[in-house]
A = this chain, B = another copy of it.
Amino acid sequence: MEEFINYILQFGNLNKQQTDFIVGKAKTLELHKEDYFSEAGKVPRQVGFLLEGVVRFCYYNNKGEEITQYFIDENNFVSDQQRFEAQVLASEYIQAVTDCKLLIFSKRDWDEIGNTIVGWDAITGLILKNCLLKTIERRSPLVSEDATTRYLSFIENFPGLVNRIPLSYIASYLGITQQSLSRIRRNIR
């Protein structure tokens, strides 16, 4: 919980009264491994902040292959924020990779925070921009890297996650087959 407040305070100043108000709106949610936080074809109902565990964003391409787009670990927001804000259908799944514990905010509560806390929209705007930029900085370079370099980049970008995520998800994130990734692991040793 303190981690949550600290995270937010990186992006703007809020006094104790304000942070108390925000925290007062938070509920907690536990997800089991492989549960969905939100699903393609449904309207995202909540914003999450990940206290424990790892989640992934994924979708199905036109060949029916499941593509992992991104991973999120502890002390980061978990949300298809644009679809959540607009309350429109999502095209991606957000799935627990491990058992997870989250803080969650309903749309109603999220809006109420926005209407109550001056500067909240600016803070959340900054947070979102940062997350999007980080996504680009991590994902985009993979396009021009070979499979081994992609794996090394992954280890750098998501330190500590290698041993918490099934090989098949990592391979999917890297755009290679799991056989290739397994071979790469062997060659690196």
Oligomer: number of copies: 2
User: Residue A132 contacts which of B67, B133, B141, B143 (CB distance < 8 angstroms)?
Assistant: B133
CA–CA, A132 to B125, complex, Å? Answer: 12
A141 vs chain B, min Cβ distance (A): 7
Tell me the nearest residue of chain B to A130, going by C-beta: B82
CA–CA, A132 to B128, complex, Å? Answer: 10
User: Residue A136 contacts which of B61, B139, B145, B174 (CB distance < 8 angstroms)?
Assistant: B139
CA–CA, A125 to B82, complex, Å? Answer: 13
A140 vs chain B, min Cβ distance (A): 5
Number of interface residues of A (CB under 8 A): 24
Tell me the nearest residue of chain B to A124, going by C-beta: B125
Write out the residue numbers on chain B whose beta carbons fall within 8 Å of the beta carbon of A136.
132, 135-136, 139
- The reply to whether B144 and A175 form a contact with Cβ atoms under 8 Å apart is yes
A69 at the interface (CB under 8 A from B): yes
- The reply to whether B143 and A139 form a contact with Cβ atoms under 8 Å apart is yes
Tell me the nearest residue of chain B to A150, going by C-beta: B143
CA–CA, A142 to B69, complex, Å? Answer: 11
Write out the residue numbers on chain B whose beta carbons fall within 8 Å of the beta carbon of A121.
122
Write out the residue numbers on chain B whose beta carbons fall within 8 Å of the beta carbon of A67.
141, 144
A168 at the interface (CB under 8 A from B): no
Write out the residue numbers on chain B whose beta carbons fall within 8 Å of the beta carbon of A145.
175
On A, residues with C-beta under 8 Å from B are 61, 65, 67, 69, 82, 121-122, 125, 128-129, 132-133, 135-136, 139-145, 172, 174-175
With A61-B141, A82-B133, A129-B132 already in contact, 18 other A-B pairs whose C-beta atoms are closer than 8 Å: A61-B144, A65-B144, A69-B140, A121-B122, A125-B129, A128-B129, A129-B129, A132-B132, A132-B133, A132-B136, A135-B140, A136-B136, A139-B139, A139-B140, A139-B143, A143-B143, A143-B174, A145-B175
